[in-house]
Amino acid sequence: MGPHSVAANLLPPPLQVLKSFQKLYGDASAAPQSGYMTFEEFAALFSRPKVTAEGDGNTIGMAVQEAGGKFAPFRFKRRDVGDYDVRIQITHASICHTDIHQAKNDWHVSQLQI
């Protein structure tokens, strides 16, 4: 990796996941014992949903286009990582309750799109 491509990948490599699963649950090809999940169910816990969005841009986020609207995938342009930046990989995100108030323009100060 180059000096500007620091990746904060919080998910373990697939082989490590498989070994951990096998240590806990046994061989992935064997039928699970009653009450235990299959390897596919276990692996699905680490999967990320595929998100797509129309338009230009190199990044997908969630946005509200009008007051009271619903959050939906939105494509936008993010600048390149610079000399004094740190590049991270975000694997999970959520919204704050204040985001919902902004999206609904509850405080009458929202500047849409959010």
pLDDT in tens, 72-84: 999 999 999 999 9
Statement: the pTM of the whole predicted model exceeds 0.85: no
Question: Given a cut of 70, is residue 54 above it in pLDDT?
Answer: yes
Asked if pLDDT for residue 27 goes beyond 70, the answer is: no
Residues 6+ apart with CB under 8 A from 60: 51, 52, 53, 73, 74, 75, 76
CA 2 to chain centre: 24
pLDDT of residue 16: 75
Which residue would you say has higher pLDDT here, 104 or 45? 104
Q: What are phi and psi of 99, to 5 degrees?
A: -60, -40
Diameter of the chain measured on Cα atoms: 58
Q: Is the pLDDT of residue 5 over 60?
A: no
Mean pLDDT of 7-28: 65
On the question of pLDDT at 106 being above 60, the answer is yes
